[in-house]
Amino acid sequence: MMDKVRVRYAPSPTGYLHIGNARSALFNYLFARHYGGDFVIRIEDTDKARNVETGEESQLHYLKWLGLEWDESVDQDGGYGPYRQSERGHIYDPLVQQLLDENKAYRCYMTSEELETEREAQIARGEMPRYGGQHANLSEEEEEALIAEGRQPSIRLRVPRDKTYTFDDIVKGDVSFESNGIGDWVIVKKDGVPTYNFAVVVDDHYMGISHVLRGDDHISNTPKQQMVYEAFGWEEPKFGHMTLIVNEDKKKLSKRDGSIIQFIEQYKDLGYLPEALFNFIALLGWTPEGEEEIFSKKEFIELFDEKRLSKSPAFFDKQKLTWINNQYMKEKDTETVFEMALPHLVKEGLVAENASEEELDWARKLVALYQEQMSFAGEITTLSEQFFKEDIEFDEDANAVISDEHIPELMTALHTRFGELEDFSPETIKAAIKDVQKSTGYKGKKLFMPIRVAVTGQTRGPELPDTISLLGKEKVMDRIAKLK
């Protein structure tokens, strides 16, 4: 362990915060906080063609929403800036020139068409595609002739031959790559912009990054980055590659996978709690000791141990996410849950946008009624749909309940007793049901299940007297009358 732990999350502003990227950021955050180190956010924005105008702002906004605070970034200079790659050209350029001067890199004038032809021929021969080094040793005259043709050069790093690059991965243990399988690769594109594998090493070195925790898809980049460290004589950070996140079919989680919600913004919009999502993501590829699965952020920081990062793919368990968020929803104060749920009721036209205080108070009671059941705030519209329907549609289970021969007698008694109530509160409703129990002799499931189905169309739900009271006397009386 280096004297000072410094880790980074380095997103490209090419889109919204994806669940996989959020996990990378979160594990780096927990690692830094556990060891009292620094968590740095650096923006890798050199791919201008793919950058989204609001991409950077969105990344930072939703990281903050998840509960991740950083020590340094574009909005918080820690003395290692600039924190956007597009603003670091003055750092890259002299280093590139140094490699050229030391003959560790060279200019390559091959066109994209020539490179593609080479690639296709290699594949046809059953070879691993790689650059063959055609321009590795151009004479001055040859280079001048290519420039005269109007060709723009890229700059390639000379890859050492017959060398094995190894590193002790935090997650995977010993990993090695043979240099002969890697052709001389581009460190600066034809447009003068440094490539990822070059720029990321320069940035990590000059920002004092001690550990690089990232996704498994970056592992093949590591030997190329080791070559850059070697070329400059710099000390490497400690690398760790987290396993992939897979879906229910054990396939890599893809942004095109419609079966799983992919972006943090979507979870926020659906009404998930950030602390619940933090909890769920922290368990994607990392396991604490014991069986407990609900932890606060503070507890995660204390417990985090990089040695417990999984070597197996992390399964995205949608049911587990639903369960975790429900645990947090149940513990949340009702007013916060109401404020999260109200926009969903308004959006569906179930509550007026300019609702009166009386209407808002009713909606607040509705949300409180279903808080125990809600997996996310947006679910309120489906859980409470019977409150907004004129006619109930009974499913097979509900029909089985109301088909019992004692139902007309029970509903007649209930209709009469409810009709006598001037105060339609949960307390008076509960007392009225008890009176019906005494007068009819029906009790338990014979009593309560038919009443629930008659007034809600459902066989299970929240407290029955509270539900009946909130539905209102007129609606309840009308529904009971239909089954007399």
| Cα gap 368→337, rounded to integer Å | 8
End-to-end CA distance of the chain: 76
Beta strands in 231-348 (DSSP E): 238-242, 245-246, 314-315
Q: Which of 4, 64, 251, 255 is catalytic?
A: 255
Q: What 8-state DSSP symbol labels residue 212?
A: E
Q: Which residue has the tokens 């890859």?
A: 159
| Cβ atoms of residues 338 and 367 within 8 Å | yes
| Cβ atoms of residues 40 and 209 within 8 Å | yes
Could you give the C-alpha distances from 240 to 114, 152, 197, 210, in angstroms and in order?
Answer: 36, 37, 16, 11
Burial class (CB in 10 A: 0-12, 13-18, 19+), 173: exposed
| Cβ atoms of residues 309 and 173 within 8 Å | no
The reply to whether 189 belongs to the active site is no
Which of 422, 421, 330 has the alpha carbon at shortest distance from 377?
330
Beta strands in 216-306 (DSSP E): 238-242, 245-246
**Strands 314-315 and 245-246, how do they pair?**
parallel
Could you give the C-alpha distances from 222 to 19, 212, 226, in angstroms and in order?
Answer: 23, 10, 6
| Cα gap 30→19, rounded to integer Å | 16
For residue 254, the tally of other CB atoms under 10 A from its CB is 12
List the catalytic residues. Answer: 255
